[in-house]
A and B are shown apart, each in its own frame.
Chain A
Amino acid sequence: MSGRITRDEAAHVARLARLRFSDEEFDELATQLSAVLDHAADVEALDVTDIAPTSHPHPLVNVTRADEVRPSLDRDEVLAQAPSVDDGQFRVPPILGEAP
């Protein structure tokens, strides 16, 4: 198995994805993700520069609707599912300060 993803890279990606792993988990992930990327070598090796990308199976243009007022979700019902609520709003820990 090639080491396509190093532990440092895995740690960087984990920071981007807001996930935390133990040393053991990082070792396993690096191996498993490298195996998937090895399999993807067939795609990586293709010369497809002249082919346009398809991000969606149907060619969609902007889908719009009439700008009309319509009912939205019930606020109390939505807030009832939140982990923490204060005065009709979602409550979170401080967002300023040092990032992890």
Chain B
Amino acid sequence: MTALGIAAVVKSGERTALDVVDEHLARISQRDAEIGAFNLVLADEARTAAREVDAAVSRGDAVGPLAGVPVALKDNLCTRGVPTTCSSRMLEGWRPPYDATVVQRLRAAGAVIVGKTNLDEFAMGSSTENSAFGPTRNPHDTERVPGGSSGGSAAAVAAGFAPLALGSDTGGSVRQPAALCGVVGLKPTYGAVSRYGLVAFASSLDQIGPMAANVADAAACFEAISGHDPLDSTSIDGARDPVVAGLGQGVDGLRVGLVAELCAGSARLQDADGLDGVSAVEGVAADVIARVDAAATALEAAGAAVTVVSVPSAVLGLSAYYLVAPAEASSNLARYDGVRYGLRVDAANAAEMNVNSRTAGFGAEVKRRIMLGTYALSAGYYDAFYGKALRVRTLMLREFAAAYAGVDVLLGPTAPTTAFELGAKTADPLLMYLNDVCTIPSNLTGHPAVSVPFGGGDDGLPVGVQLMGPALSEPVLLRAAAVLEQAAPSGGGAP
């Protein structure tokens, strides 16, 4: 049952929220030992919250748009009094003294939080294998990864543990696992959703986004969590266009640009003019490109005009990101010093205690990124690396703005391949980083992007295609995603 379908029957009294949550908790207890989507299942809390929704319905009180809808939260979102680990030994057992704004807004909308989902430690990774508590497995094939870092949330939705989940996306961490698990994932405009209570990774890139089994549910969740928040100084103020109401309006007349740099091998590139010398990102598989081409054709069939657009700096995104994000992470993660919260490993003096605690508390990938970021910010290298990466960011903003002068949305792949096998990329960090090559540009520019399932690859596993747009274009992105959802072929099957 969809999230909006659940809300409708709970509101009408046809079904109780308690019955709905029990059904989902039963599914979790049946299959999560195999999948590993959750770090923590909040069965008692969820039942209590569901009873409150049911009581409000029976009193005739107004209930929210997500009344009785089970939601899974990535375990880097703060929940007051409830463990929030970031899948790190550093925060094992930590109980935040406040709720994230998104958690408050979900509760206000009537949603029922069923648990905290696994992630790559501190959201650093693309496979959910970097978790201190073990990997999450892809519900479509448990020998394969669910993607990451929001792999637990993606797997929870794909396995039917919850119709909705929240993830966070710093370089693709909502969209890439959504693609690999065959669900919808939205990375909103930077500032559209409050980051208050999201444990910081790279503050100029992080954004919380919804994951759902269908576009309308993702849109409804986005409406529930977005909006200005005085507790996040980067939150965007002002009125927003509604999203759900316009979902059925179609794409007649919409101008769509296929991004040449992300679509090497596309038949459309061979037919396009003026693309001599375009260099494209490497490693995007032919079966994924074929799905993107098919999505372009489906949008055309629905009345959109598709052209090929070049955004040359898109190929620089990966390098720029892996300087900017680790630099911000090295600064953000300096707070884990064994003093106020988290792990402490004691020593004779405070400085030694800091070193002991951080060395014991952080996993290998987090340490690697702290080292990379500290290096990129250190004397003698700042200008060559971090400083240049920030200038590349300006270049990308200019080029995407130019592209959006000619088209309404951009189209490309979400992830370079379908889900890969566990352990396939853990030995080579750079190989793992290449998973993010198509999703990173939207984080560097702060623009929204959505991944929507569009059939399967040669191996039968789900493929996601990505729609990107300018700031605050979520209504048009999700409208186009709804068209693709309707046109999506079978394949990438049920998990």
Residues of A at the B interface (CB closer than 8 Å) are 5, 9-10, 12-14, 16-21, 29, 32-33, 35-37, 39-44, 46, 48, 51-58, 60, 63, 65, 73-74, 77-78, 80-84, 90, 92-100
Q: What are 10 A-B residue pairs whose CB atoms fall within 8 Å in the complex?
A: A19-B362, A39-B318, A40-B385, A43-B316, A55-B390, A78-B340, A80-B95, A81-B97, A92-B339, A95-B349
Q: Contacts A53-B387, A54-B393 given: A36-B351 contact, CB under 8 Å?
A: no
B465 interface contact, C-beta 8 A? no
Are A82 and B340 within 8 A (Cβ)? yes
Chain A residues closer than 8 Å to B433, beta-carbon distance: 36
Q: Which residue of B lies closest to A91 (CB)?
A: B339
| The residue from B316, B318, B344, B372 contacting A83, defined by CB atoms under 8 A apart | B344
What residues on B are CB-neighbors of A74 within 8 Å?
97
Instruction: Find out whether the CB atom of A83 lies under 8 angstroms from the CB atom of B393.
Output: no
Report if B392 contacts A (CB, 8 A).
Answer: yes
10 A-B pairs with least C-beta separation = A57-B446, A53-B390, A83-B344, A48-B391, A63-B233, A54-B393, A40-B319, A95-B350, A43-B319, A77-B97
Report, as a range, how many residues of chain B touch the other chain: 35 or more
12 further A-B contacts with Cβ under 8 Å, apart from A20-B355, A21-B359, are A18-B351, A33-B368, A39-B319, A40-B319, A43-B392, A48-B392, A53-B390, A55-B393, A56-B234, A58-B471, A83-B344, A93-B349
B355/A58 in contact, CB under 8 A: no
- With both chains docked as a complex, state the minimum distance between the C-beta of A74 and any C-beta of chain B, in angstroms: 6
Selected contact of A17 from candidates B97, B322, B370, CB within 8 Å: B370
Closest to B81 in A: A77
Instruction: Give the contacting residue for A39; candidates B98, B374, B430; CB below 8 A.
Output: B430
B residues at A contact (CB < 8 Å)? 94-98, 190-191, 204, 230, 233-234, 236, 315-316, 318-320, 322-323, 330, 334, 337-344, 346-356, 358-359, 362, 367-368, 370-372, 374-375, 378, 384-385, 387-395, 397, 429-430, 433, 444-447, 471
Q: Report the number of A-B residue pairs with Cβ-Cβ less than 8 Å.
A: 176
Q: Which residues of A contact B378 (CB under 8 A)?
A: 12-13, 16
**Hey, which chain B residues are within 8 Å of A37, CB to CB?**
385
Distance A55 CA – B347 CA, assembled complex (angstroms): 37
